[in-house]
Structures are given as structure tokens and as C-alpha cells.
Chains A and B, each alone.
Chain A
Amino acid sequence: MQQAIALPASRSGRRNSRLGDPIFAGLARGSGILVLLLLGSLILSLFIGGLPAFRRFGFNFLFSTEWDPVHQVFGAAVSVYGTLITSVLALVFAVPLAFGIAFYLTELAPSWLRRPVGTAIELLAAIPSIIYGMWGFFVIVPIMSQYIEPTLINLFDGIPVLQDLFAGPPFGTGIFTAAMILAVMVLPFIAATMRDVFNTVPPVFKESAYGVGCTTWEVMRSIVLPYTRVSVVGGIMLGLGRALGETMAVTFVIGNADRISPNLFSSSNTIASIVALEFPESPTGSLKLASLLALGFILFVISFIVLAISRMLLRPKLKA
């Protein structure tokens, strides 16, 4: 473990050391403060930019579902709803898969397979998000529109709640597809975090469980998961944080529509996608620009909270 270095008494005559240390220390400390200032000014610029919208619409801005550029009425509800539902749905898809992959990598895979498969999953994390957007739009959307969505629509037709969740027309784009693409994007992060966290379990715990005759699944369920529960949740929250802010993967496939509808196949907006699509054409100083910046501020607050929680849960377990 690291300790503070006790400096020797200054070497007389060596001007270097007398100047070098304070300068270097000042540089180091200064850069730390620079990073703080960076975040501070980020938050401030978003808040100040969004102030006209907050002032005009008040607290109602958060709950209004109108987004009407023609009549100059803006509200955050649709974008916030879209952001939250695509991210949560993405987690619903991704977490079981990630768990399966992490379980496989830590317990089931033969040791010669662990490194390549693990690397392959991590490479999935390295792929830029615009590639996911293109792949999603050109590959997944046609499959959804021609096979999966019509099947699900017909399957649930007539069943009271489900038919509202899965209604036509099968555009192929929309919340469901966006959530699927997001799931593929956050899958590697959650899987890698889970794998790292599973590996921190002291082998003696697992061995003692095997020793009394537990199956692999029972070891995972009764020993590993309870031990790592907090960090697993932290990893999931990290994935959530990523999904909330994702722009490129979602913009291609969300279908820009300003409505809240229970239909999972309907188009919607996320905060990131509406900013990407409508920022370029918002006149400077206009209410629309202020509304977009206000949305950015809201997104930042949401991500900040999620990331803070995730960090709180993860840090103790993964590193000192």
C-alpha cells in the first residue's frame, strides 16, 4: 500500500529540487482542480442554457408531453419517458444474458476458452456506437418489421393487456428495437463487470460449498451471488448509466415521435436522440434551443445519480 513520501531535508545548493517539487505538485493539484472546474462548467452551461425554458414552463416542463415547434410549447415528459423505458427495457434484455456469460466465463468454461471468449465480449464493448446504429437500422429493423413484430402482434391480439403493449403497425423502428440495440451495447460492460466481481470471491468459500456436494448453480446462487450482490447491482447501474446517454445507437432506430404510448412498438424519443436530431435546426437564443439544453441538464442529472449510485456500490469491491 502507498504511503506519503517523507521528503529529505532540502539539498542545499540544488535549486532544481527547491523549485521542481512545488512546481510539479502545483501542476498536479492544478490539473485536479481543472477537472473539477470542467464538470462544474458543464453543469452550469447546461443549466444556464436551459433556464429560459425552465422559467417559461416552470415545473410543468418535466411533466408536459407536448413538443410542438410550431406553437412553441415544449415539454420533457416524452423524452424522459423514452429515455427511461428504453434503458430499463435494455437492462431487462441484457442482465440475464450478461449474467449467463459471466457465469459461463467464471465457472463453466474450460480454462483455454476463457481468455478468447472474454476478449471477444470485451471487443463488443469497443465497437463505436455509430456502428451499432447502422447495424441496428440496416440489419435488425427489417428483421423486426418483417418477422418478429408481425408475429408478436398477431400472437397477443385479443389478450387484454398484452395487445396494447404489442400493437401494430410493424414499423420495425421504435422503443422495442431501440431497447434491443441498447441491450447489445451495454451487455459487454455488465458481463465484464460481473465476471470481474465473481472472480473476487475467495476460492475457499466456493470450495467448501463444492465440498458438501453443491452443484455449480447452487454455488453460484448461494455463495457467489450473495457475496457479490452489491457489486452486481453496481455493475448493472453502470450499464444503465451508459444506456441512458447513448445517442448514435438509438437515433437511427427510435423514430422521432412525441407521444407517450403503452405500445412498445411505437416510435418515441430519448433525450439524447431528440437533441441530436433537433439541435442543429434550433435557432440560437430560441425557446427550442433552451428546451433542448434543459433536456440535456435533466439527462445529466439522471445519469449523475445513476453513476453515483453505481460507483458507491462498485468501488469497495473492485479496488481500494
Chain B
Amino acid sequence: MRPAITAAAIGLAAGLVAAQQAQADIQITGAGSTFAAPIYAKWGDASSSTTGIKLNYQAIGSGAGINQINNRTVDFGASDMPVAADQLTAHKLMQFPTVIGGVDIIVNIPGVKPNQLKLTGPVLADIYLGTITKWNDKQIVALNPGLKLPSLAIAPVHRADGSGTTFVFTDYLGMQSPEWKTKVGSSTSVAWPVGAGAKGSDGVAGTVHQIKGGIGYDESAYAEQNHLTTALLKNKAGKFVAPTMAAFEASAGNADWSKVQNFAIDLNNEPGATSWPIESATFVLLPIDPKDANQSAAVKKFFDWGFTHGSAIAKRLLYIPLPASVHNAIRAAWKKDVPGTM
């Protein structure tokens, strides 16, 4: 009898201590961009022991993330598409970027090796508009004099689910082709004139991998990890560049943060001889009237950790950290707009 009671008491005490410990951890919830999911998850894992903050991030897509934070069902929203200023005011949100990432073009053409095929923005737009239908079209051949291109039908692949990557890509196409801009526009989900949709970045890569003549767009981290056949793009300076870390950094380095409101910078088609043209910052949306100031403070603390200690992790995953000046501007904006001490 006695040993049993002692055991029960110890168990109860241990349970209470564990419960106390669990209570010391704050859980913050975020939802949105799949583009940024890997880096937020890695930051969450690495920081929880020091900050005591547990992150629950659901990568349900940028549009869904905006929706969730508008409804205040999560603590922060994540979106690759910056929210318009009037929407920010209407929903009482403040917006700040966290990292920068590039979008690669992947292809599957027999005989073409990675970083061999040269494309330009207008040609890309025409492919996705359906006006260029074969790989040995005059315009593509003209860009690739030394390359033997087969008479193969082009199979454009796009994201079936709503995606910030789609926004970045269609925004770039809109810049490069007036017809694209008026006919289709840019958003997380658009009315694609041609091609097939695939679910998730995995779906796009898998479909392109499977079908000869396929072309698609994917986050650079994923393309790199899976050794996909990427293509070269002509940037604003007229040079053909490969989607490398150096090219992403060059593009990010040329960004002028001073001219934008709400940090809503568009990093597509940045100047610079070595810049990669399809790139975007990914944003976090925070309520300026949070219902729980502690939660809000925890979110800021989490991202502050990411800014101060998370750069090495970001680079390993092929994201470009923001410049220190931007980090400080963000911290100033937090102090000004969002209640809740860090």
C-alpha cells in the first residue's frame, strides 16, 4: 500500500512539474506561405530552447495565411504577396519582411543540361500564354544558337493550389509582357490560359520531371535540393544568369528599401549585371490591435531571434537574409505600431 501511494505521489508531482514546464512555453500560431515554411520551421526548432516559444506554423498558402490573420484565427500570417496599404489599414495589420528567396524555372528537354537553356521574360510569358507551343520555335532557337532543340510540344506546368510562388512568377510575367498583365494578371491563383496544374512544389517538380517538354517554376531551395534542370534567364541588364545564391544576393543587394511603404518591396526584375530576375521577399502580417499582447510580444521575440541568430540557417536553406538596416527599421516599426513589449 505504502509503496503504491509514494509512487502515485511522485508521479503526481512529476506531472505537475511537467505541466508547469509546459506552461512556461508560449505557443504561437502562424499560417501562410509555403515558400517560407522551411525557414520558419527551422527557426522555431532552433530557438525554442532559448526563447521558450513554440511555433505552430501551417503552410497553407499565402492567400490562406492572409485570410487567417484577417480573421484573427492565428497570431501571425505569412504571405509572399505584400498586402496593399488600404487592406492593411482596413484589417489593422502591420507588415514586415523576414527573408528573401528566388524562384527558379525548371525544364525537361531531352539533351538539355542544367543551366544550359536560355530564356527571356517575354518568351516565358508567351509560353504560358500559349502563343509559343514548341521547343524549336524561332524565338527560343534564336536565344539558344548552340543548342539542339527538338520539335517537342511545350508542356507548361503551374501550381494547382493557391501559392505565393505563383504570385511572384505571375508578377514577373506581368512586368515582361503587357498582354499577360491585362489578360491574366498576377495573384496567388490566376486563370492560366494553358498548361496543367500540379499540387504543391513537389507536384510541379514531379510533373515536369515526368513529361518530356515540361516547363515549370519552383522555389530555388527546392530546385537546388532535388537537382532539377534549371534554365538561365535574361535579367534587366541584358545578361543571362543562372539561379545561384550569388545571383539572388546580387538582386537583393540592389533593392532600394527607402522608397517603399510598409516594406512592400517588389524584388522582381532588379537591376544589376548578375542579378536573378525572379525574386521576392516574404512577409509577415501582425495585428496592431492584438487580443493578447503577450502573444504579440512572443511573435516579435521569435522573429527578432531569427534576425539576430537565424541568418546562417537561412543561408543554408538558400534564403537571403535582409540587410541589417532593414532589420533595424523593422524593430522600430514594431515599437511604433504594435503593443506588447518584446
Contacts and interface: CB of A to CB of B under 8 A. Distances in A.
A283 B67 contact: yes
Given A146-B210, A171-B211, A280 B61 contact: yes
Contacts of A277: 160-162, 199
A169 B162 contact: no
B220 interface: no
B196 A174 contact: yes
Contact of A70 (B60, B162, B184): B184
B253 interface: no
Given A70-B191, A174-B196, A256-B197, A284 B71 contact: yes
Give the interface size class of chain B: 35 or more
B189 interface: yes
A66 B60 CA distance: 25
Contacts of B214: 169
A167 B186 CA distance: 29
Nearest to A171: B196
A282 interface: yes
Contacts of A255: 160, 196-198
Contact of A257 (B154, B155, B195): B195
Interface in A170-184: 170-174
B200 to A, nearest CB: 9
A69 B167 CA distance: 12
A141 to B, nearest CB: 7
A218 interface: no
B335 to A, nearest CB: 29
Contacts of A171: 155, 157, 196, 207, 211
A54 B162 CA distance: 24
B187 A169 contact: no
Nearest to B66: A283
Nearest to A173: B196
B95 interface: no
B211 A70 contact: no
Nearest to B153: A169
B290 interface: no
Given A169-B213, A277-B160, A69 B197 contact: no
Interface string A255-270: 1111000000011000
Interface in B144-187: 153-155, 157, 160-162, 184-187
Contacts of A252: 199, 203
A67 B193 CA distance: 11
A69 B81 CA distance: 15
A137 B200 CA distance: 12
B64 A280 contact: yes
A299 B162 CA distance: 22
Interface in A102-152: 137, 141-142, 145-146
A284 B196 CA distance: 28
A257 B197 contact: yes
Interface in B37-71: 60-64, 66-67, 70-71
A234 to B, nearest CB: 35
A172 B210 contact: yes
Contacts of A278: 161-162, 189
A258 B189 CA distance: 11
B66 A256 contact: no
A147 B153 CA distance: 17
A21 interface: no
A256 B160 contact: yes
B305 interface: no
B313 to A, nearest CB: 27
Interface string B200-233: 0001000100110110000000000000000000
B192 interface: yes
A67 to B, nearest CB: 6
B106 to A, nearest CB: 15
Contacts of A146: 210
Nearest to A258: B191
A251 interface: yes
Nearest to A276: B161
B64 to A, nearest CB: 4
B297 interface: no
A207 interface: no
A68 B196 contact: no
A146 B210 CA distance: 7
Given A67-B191, A69-B190, A71-B185, A281 B210 contact: no
A141 B210 contact: yes
Contacts of A168: 153, 155
Contacts of B186: 70
Contacts of B70: 283-284
B188 interface: yes
Contact of B199 (A67, A142, A170, A251): A251
A200 to B, nearest CB: 43
Candidate in A170, A171, A282 with the most chain B CB atoms within 10 angstroms: A171
Contact of A284 (B60, B67, B197, B210): B67
Interface of A: 66-71, 137, 141-142, 145-146, 168-174, 251-252, 254-258, 266-267, 277-278, 280-284
29 contacts: A67-B191, A69-B187, A69-B189, A69-B191, A70-B185, A70-B187, A70-B190, A142-B210, A145-B210, A168-B153, A168-B155, A169-B153, A172-B211, A174-B196, A251-B199, A255-B196, A255-B197, A257-B192, A267-B196, A277-B199, A278-B161, A280-B61, A281-B60, A281-B66, A281-B67, A281-B189, A282-B67, A283-B66, A284-B70
Q: Which 4 A-B pairs have the closest CB atoms?
A: A281-B63, A256-B160, A70-B185, A256-B197
Interface of B: 60-64, 66-67, 70-71, 153-155, 157, 160-162, 184-192, 195-199, 203, 207, 210-211, 213-214
Given A171-B211, A280-B61, A281-B61, 6 more contacts: A146-B210, A168-B155, A278-B189, A280-B60, A280-B67, A284-B71
